[in-house]
Structures are given as C-alpha cells and as structure tokens.
Amino acid sequence: MEGLTVVTTLRYEGEHRRRLETALAGAEILRFDSPDASGFDQALQRADVAILAKDPDQRFFSVPRLRWIHVDHAGLNRAARPEAFRPGLIVTGSAGRSAPVLAEHALFFALALAYRYPVFLDAQRAHRWGVPDQDQLRGLYGRTIGIVGLGNTGKELAVRAKAFGMRVLGYRRRATEPPPGVDQLFSADAGDGLDTLLAQSDFLVLVLGLSDATHHLIGAHELGLIGPNGYLINMARGPVVDEAALTEALYEGRIAGAGLDTFEVEPLPRNSRLWDAPNTLITPHVTPAVPDRTARSLDIICENIRRFQTGEPMLNRLTQEDIYSHDVR
C-alpha cells in the first residue's frame, strides 16, 4: 500500500491491530473513532481507501480520490445505492465471517418449530406433563429444506441440514454445480423460478442478499406455495419478505409458522402483530458470535488488500445486481 492514504474507523487492538497495520505496510493510516469525529471530513478528502466499521454515508461516494471502501459487516444494502457504482470505486464487505453460526441459527429455528418447543416450555413452567397432539410431531430427518441464497451462510446451512438427514434444495442466481449438501439446485440463470422449490419445502430458509430484485421476494403468492404445513425462516433482511402478507398468513394458518431474525422496521415496533403471531419465533437480529469473528474479518480484509494492490477481483464486491434503492428503515 506504498504511498496510499487509508482512513479507518475500525477499533481493532492488540494483535488484530498489528495484523491490519502489517497488511497496510507503506500506507499512511488515519484512525478515527467514528466518521463524525473532528477532522474526519478533511482526512476523507485525501484518502485512497476507507476501511469502516459501519456503513458509509453519502460523503464517501462524492470523494473523487477514494478508490476502495470496505465495510466490516455482511449485509451491504445500506451501501448499495446507485451512486456507489461510480467508475473507479470498489465497495466490499465482510460477508462470511459469521456464516457457521448464522447457519446454526437457522437450524435452531427449524428444530424449535418442528419440536414445538415454546408449547413444551409453557407446559414445563406450568408443571404439566405433555401437550396436545404431541404424538403428531416430526423431526427434521427425512424432511425437505429449501435454501434461497447459496452464499457463505447458505452453503454452511446445506452441509448442516444434510447432516440431519434432510433433503436439501437450493436456489441461487448463478447456474453452477450444486454446492456440497445440496441435492437439487435451481438458479435464475437457468430460468428457474422459486415456485417448485417453495412447493416442495417443509422449511424455507432465506439467506440471500437484499436488493431491488429481492425486495418482497416472498409475498402472498409464495406464502401460499409454502402452505399450511410449511415454515418460513428469515435470516436475510426483513424487506425480502412482504411483512404484511406474512402476518396475515400466520394468523390465518396459511403457513405453519415462522422463525424471524430480521424485520422491515428494526427494532420491531411494540405494536407489531408479529409479536403474538401463532407459531412464530422472534430473535432481535442477533446471532451468537463465532469465537474468532475479528480474525475472520481480518482474513477477508487482508486478502482484499492484497487483491487491491495486484488488481485481482475483490472478495464480496458490490455489483449492479446488488443495488437497493428503497428506503432503509
């Protein structure tokens, strides 16, 4: 990075900080606690690279000298504005650093829904032995999971679902060989829609990115295909699902239940009907961390520093397909 200026808001310390500095050897490194700190605007005007803890605001896209922005988290829909794609600017993120536990989180929802765990917990607290229809329960073994999005998290989930003995269907944009664990692959490139996957899935798991193309990807029609015996699990972003349609489907029993970690408005408003929807599990957009998350972030950042210098394709780069022009709430 000889001769370049790097502005960063990462608060790495100790060995993590030393590793980043080593990767940036030769660069002038300007550190700030946040983009609102005194002197940040002046530093940004002469920066070639910005490595950020949080999403960039409009200022970053209007700096002509800036050539690369890295955002140290996974979902970049807040950064994927049309102005982020000006010539000469690269925007990347840290997708994949938490993929193993995001996959676990999806399976936590699937297991809890299949085992009707909230009902059993209520019975335990009431000191009551058993619940109605408990003999009708079915586990995950032998059932079908449909995974929409086969990026880092989707691929981790496919392997884990296969270990449970599930039939695994996958959907992605690109027509490729099925990743490990995927029994049947559907793709947009091959002209496949979602209908077949939805109709066959006992559990539909969303782990795809949010873009204009995926906004409200799951609406009333798709929920109807999931049907009264199927479950929806959303580990993507809230606006991938038409939340009003989902709420009605849950209350009317048109799907069996849902596991939701993301919502159209966050925090979920206290008056949202989803809080009390039947057979619905809610977590507040939080997943347990992998024990080495910062190190995993650094793996991505350091590899991208190397690629930036050599002109190789960057990891987790935003493309025109990722544009999200809707309001982010």
Question: Which residues are designated catalytic?
Answer: 237, 266, 285
Q: Of 271, 270, 277, nearest to 241 (Cα)? A: 277
Q: Is 307 exposed, middle or buried (0-12, 13-18, 19+ CB in 10 A)?
A: middle
- Other Cβ atoms within 10 Å of 37 Cβ, number: 12
What is the β-pairing status of strands 144-148 and 90-93?
unpaired
Is residue 141 classed as helix, strand or coil in its secondary structure? Answer: coil
Distance of CA 44 to the CA centre of its chain: 29
Is residue 84 classed as helix, strand or coil in its secondary structure? Answer: helix
Residue 283 to residue 286: CA distance in whole angstroms: 7
Is residue 265 classed as helix, strand or coil in its secondary structure? Answer: coil
